[in-house]
Amino acid sequence: MARASSSWAVLLLAFVINTNRAAATYTWPNPDIDLLESIFYQHNGFRQFGLAFGVSPCNNMANTLETGRDDSAEWFRTAYHDMATADVESGIGGIDASIGFETERTENKGKAFNESVGFFLAFQSSRSSMADVIALAAALTVGSCSNGEVIVPFRGGRQDALEAGPTGVPQPEEDLDSHTAAFARQGFNVSEMIGLVACGHTIGGVHGENFPEIVDVVDDMDNQASRQNFDESFDNFDNSVATQFVANTSQNPLAFGRNETTRSDFRIFNADGGDLIRRMAESQRFFWDTCATLLERMLNTVPKGVQLTDVIEPIAVKPNNLFITVNSNGTQTVSGEVRIMEDGATSTNREVLIHLRGRDNEDVPSSPIAAQTGEGYECLSYYNNMPNFTTYHFTTTVSTAVGVSSFDVQIKDENSDVTNTNGGQGFPWQDALLVQPAESCTSRESIDTRSNNTVKAVAAVRDDMEFELVQLVVPKPVNMIGTYAVRFEEAAVDMKKVKTLGNSGYSLYEASFSFLVIAVGPMKTFDLVAKGPKGTIENNFTRWADVGSC
């Protein structure tokens, strides 16, 4: 117990160091959180990201080739096993995606880890680490399986390990002293160990194909993984695992299984004389609140030196897909989207107006621009207590002599009229270095188990900026031995001027870059960077999916 108490104090200190930033009002853009916010909150519909789909409903399974398995339990297990080797006193380990390198260990049996990381790869990018995606997936799992009763606050900023970490995931056959020591190393005392195990074992079960010494292997086409569930509501994040244990009616194979040696849940739940598990059984709300607290701490356990962001809240008004196409006749076609979080006050005659400013910080002649929406522009949550969004799109034409510098978003409803000024500075929008979406394109060619990926970027560059260097910068994904996750290496290619765009005051620059990656690879993006005597301009994080195909 002394070690548990000491570790708990260290974890509290680490938690404060890693998460306690001064709360700040959100200002767009924020590269640390913008993408993670979209992945976490945009569930189903327009501009959905799709990660939440994997656990919605709770018994969903992306791998439909084998029955008796659920993504929800496997994603949660992946997050815990990634964290479980942490040593909070030394600052080693935590959620860092090292689990991808550790799947051959006997402490990480089963297909869950490789298949989960393989699924998560589509959401990994230069702004969303695999470790962050693992934590996101666990938070989405709990939200979906509790129908929004447990929303684990999510922070970003985790960093990916480049190699395996230490061993040390608790195993069912270990005795109570070993488990107590392992959880103390992770930063959890005895009571917290009991709570975390109960929270983790309220969904899913034990698979006989991985643990035949614990549960029987069955010949059942509806249960090919030979799963024996932890409780009767295995696809619902509720306190049944506790109520059935206390009532002595549990089917939990780790509590009352045929192998007494592997009854780890029985030993853990009784480690305090059965007090906490009884309280979790008596109150569903107490169970949920306990889990929310413990799971937030679990997901925020990170290696020493990693600085997590503030809690990522849904953003009320958020621009997206902003593009300016320069025309040879001296005009710019300005287009974009604004995602608005619904608050229940939307009227049928809502107006969304874009107040667009030129380089002189004055409204352009066509301002305000009426943004439009319609059927199919909603993005809805899969479960309760999460936001819904509506996207409004706009387009206008501006003289290149006037240009663009920023905009405000005015929302007029029946009983309200609010203008969002992004903290008073407007939503910034530079027009010196512009991706030309209609002329830029990407391609992918399959070569055995790999794919050759090519991006052709075309940029309109304002001549009066006198840039001396214009570059295409690609976060190149690099496969690593032993994991499905990738690391990113920044590759820069000089862009060449290909023509002047009439009397527009702009010239077109072009460059291409290719790389090989196993299978389809992660989320792909590119940046533009221009440097000259008047300064450096960046146009960052254009997703390959937002330009056409070559």
The per-residue pLDDT for range 194-212, each reduced to its tens digit, is 999 999 999 999 999 999 9
CB 268 within 8 A of CB 194: yes
Give the integer Cα–Cα distance in Å for 318 and 338.
6
Q: Residue 503: is its pLDDT beyond 80? A: yes
Percent of the chain whose predicted confidence (pLDDT) is above 90: 91
Written as six digits, the tokens of 79 are 């997050």
Q: For the domain with range 434-549, which CATH number is right: 2.40.30, 2.60.40, 1.10.20, 1.10.3470?
A: 2.60.40
Give the integer Cα–Cα distance in Å for 492 and 501.
25
Q: Could you tell me where in the chain the CATH 1.10.520.10 domains are found?
A: 2-299
Half-sphere exposure of 522 (CA within 13 A, CB side): 26
Residues 457-465, mean pLDDT to the nearest whole number: 98
Written as six digits, the tokens of 497 are 């001027």
Written as six digits, the tokens of 511 are 């460059």
Q: Residue 3: is its pLDDT beyond 60? A: no
- Specify the pLDDT at position 24: 59
Q: Residue 250: is its pLDDT beyond 70? A: yes
Residues 444-455, mean pLDDT to the nearest whole number: 94
pLDDT tens for each residue of 336-386? 999 999 987 677 789 999 999 999 999 999 999 999 999 999 999 999 999
Q: Residue 7: is its pLDDT beyond 70? A: no
DSSP code of residue 291? H
Q: Residue 297: is its pLDDT beyond 80? A: yes
Q: Residue 5: is its pLDDT beyond 60? A: no
- Specify the pLDDT at position 344: 75
Higher-confidence residue of 29 and 1: namely: 29
Give the integer Cα–Cα distance in Å for 330 and 504.
4
Q: Residue 4: is its pLDDT beyond 50? A: no
Query: In Å, what is the CA distance from 415 to each residue of 14, 209, 345, 355, 391?
Result: 47, 60, 8, 21, 21
Percent of the chain whose predicted confidence (pLDDT) is above 70: 95
Phi first, then psi: give them for residue 160, nearest 5 degrees.
-85, 135
DSSP code of residue 546? G
Residues 323-327, mean pLDDT to the nearest whole number: 97
pLDDT tens for each residue of 48-65? 999 999 999 999 998 677
- Specify the pLDDT at position 83: 98
- Specify the pLDDT at position 414: 86
Q: Residue 516: is its pLDDT beyond 70? A: yes
- Specify the pLDDT at position 343: 82
Q: Identify which of 400, 353, 427, 356 has the alpha carbon closest to the alpha carbon of residue 501.
A: 400
HEC-encoded secondary structure of 312-349: CCCCCEEEEEEEEEECCCCEEEEEEEEEEECCCCCCCC
Q: Residue 432: is its pLDDT beyond 50? A: yes
Q: Residue 1: is its pLDDT beyond 70? A: no
Average pLDDT value over all residues in the chain: 93
Which spans in 32-111 are helix H?
A: 34-41, 71-83
- Specify the pLDDT at position 82: 98
Query: In Å, what is the CA distance from 215 to each residue of 18, 227, 232, 250, 267?
Result: 40, 8, 16, 14, 18
- Domain 2-299 class in CATH: mainly alpha
The CB density around residue 157, as the number of other CB atoms within 10 Å, is: 21
Higher-confidence residue of 13 and 192: namely: 192
Q: Identify which of 67, 48, 47, 51 has the alpha carbon closest to the alpha carbon of residue 59.
A: 67
pLDDT tens for each residue of 110-155? 999 999 999 999 999 999 999 999 999 999 999 999 999 999 999 9
Give the integer Cα–Cα distance in Å for 320 and 393.
9
Q: What is the CATH number of domain 317-430?
A: 2.60.40.2440
Residues 13, 161, 164: CA angle, nearest 5 degrees: 105
- Specify the pLDDT at position 339: 98
Q: Residue 15: is its pLDDT beyond 60? A: no
